[in-house]
Amino acid sequence: MLTVPRSWSELTPDWMTAALADACPGALVEAVELDDVADGTNSRARLTLRYAAGAGPERVFVKREGRLLNRLALTALGAREAEPRLVASGLELPLEHPAFYAAAVDRRRLAAVTVMEDVTLRDARANEATRALGVDGVRTGLLGLARMHAAYWGKPLPRELAFVRPWRLGRVWAPVSWASLARALRILRSGGHNGLVPAGVDAGVVERGFRGWATIAAEHPRTLLHGDPHLANTYTLPSGVTGFYDWQLVRTGNWSHDVGYFLVSSLSTADRRDHERDLLADYLTELAGQGGPAPNLAQAWELYRQTPVFGLGTWLHTLSGGGFQPLDVCLAVIERFATAHADHTRTWAPPPRRNAVQPVPR
């Protein structure tokens, strides 16, 4: 049974051999070299491997628990064990993602470890939140999400995914959430960034919208959600296909959560305004083609246009917490969600869909 290391030094050749045993039978790791250690919500690193026998990946990517405060935050979100348990389930996800090798959880220490493919070995490029993704890149990501959503649409999750839960935000946390949002807005004002959030949007407005959207996100028809598909949790392959990593907020819930969160966080404001309706229709077409009983475009649009307030609240909380994401990342993503929220609150009318493609039938 794979143990959860207490430090990076415990990722020894014997430990790595055990971690790769299922995916690479016969591989015997001889040496491990630690590279690119970074701390954020979690601690993560690349490991270069050399083998005494058999064959395995030249490098792997490993995630471990972060600082105690971050572990407690993930525990409150129900996210500390989600990704390792998803990896341990062994289920295939029908969209581009890193290959999973192994995972383990130590509940006593609030600790976990996940070993996965280093996608840079396939010449993948990690996407940066400060640089918006192009329309084609967002489209390929949406098509991948549609395939995954269709596979689990309205169905009971398999036993291996019994740990995955719908979105829940208990009312007991509302005062804490309000205080966190108010602090984030003060940070923006003190830094000269108060113009990022539209006038009249205060902590109360965001908190009510944030909580209201979380309720909608848990509604039926439910499917398997990535849960946190913002731009910085994606990568692009040389073929142009967008992949998703960081599955620690995997949830079950309404399709529109993943679609709105990914689309708004990833596109520049200009591209979103020009293409969001087209992209939503492309998602629905793929969903229907994969057997999902897709809503029609008008119904889907009404759900989609309610999504930005959740992203805005999420990233204001991220800014308020400090240490989870760099300031420039928070500012870039807050601006995208805030502008989208303003657009759709004003019932901004998008341009007509190109080529007069009809809505996908129910």
Identify the residue whose tokens are 């008008």.
Answer: 298
Q: What is the pLDDT of residue 228?
A: 94
Q: Tell me the CATH number at 151.
A: 3.90.1200.10
pLDDT in the model for residue 179 = 96
pLDDT given at position 359: 35
pLDDT above 80 (res 109): yes
Domain identity same for 135 and 109: no
Looking at residue 326, what DSSP letter applies?
-
List the structure tokens of 313. Answer: 């609240």
Q: Is the pLDDT of residue 33 over 50?
A: yes
Mean local confidence (pLDDT), 234-252: 96
As for how many domains the chain has, the answer is 2
Q: Are residues 275 and 167 in the same domain?
A: yes
Is the predicted pLDDT of residue 287 greater than 60, yes or no? yes
Q: Residues 290-332: pLDDT tens digits?
A: 998 889 999 999 999 999 999 999 999 999 988 778 999 999 9
Same domain, 112 and 256: no
CATH of the domain at 63: 3.30.200.20
Give yes or no: residues 200 and 337 share one domain. Answer: yes
Among positive and negative, which fits the CA dihedral 32, 38, 41, 46?
Answer: negative
Which of 58, 87, 122 is the C-terminal boundary of a domain? 122
Who wins on pLDDT, 108 or 113?
Answer: 113
Residue 39 has pLDDT above 60, yes or no: yes
The answer on 225 and 113 residing in a single domain is: no
Q: Which residues, in sequence order, are bridge partners of residue 47? A: 34, 60
pLDDT of residue 356 exceeding 60, the answer is no
Q: Which of 31-35, 138-142, 213-217, 254-258 has the lowest mean pLDDT?
A: 213-217
Same domain, 84 and 133: no
The tens digit of pLDDT for each residue in 170-221 reads 677 789 899 999 999 999 999 999 899 988 899 999 999 988 888 888 888 8
Among 122, 149, 178, the domain-final residue is 122
Do residues 175 and 227 both lie within one domain? yes
Provide the pLDDT for residue 69: 61
| Residues 136 and 262 placed together within one structural domain of the fold | yes
HSE, side-chain direction, 13 A CA sphere, residue 247:
31
Residue 204 sits in which domain range? 125-356
Mean pLDDT within 2-13? 93
pLDDT tier at 67 (50, 70, 90 boundaries)? low
Regarding whether 22 and 103 lie in a shared domain, the answer is yes
Mean pLDDT for all residues in the chain: 90
Q: What is the C-alpha separation between 362 and 349, in angstroms, rounded?
A: 23
Which pLDDT score is estimated for 357? Answer: 36
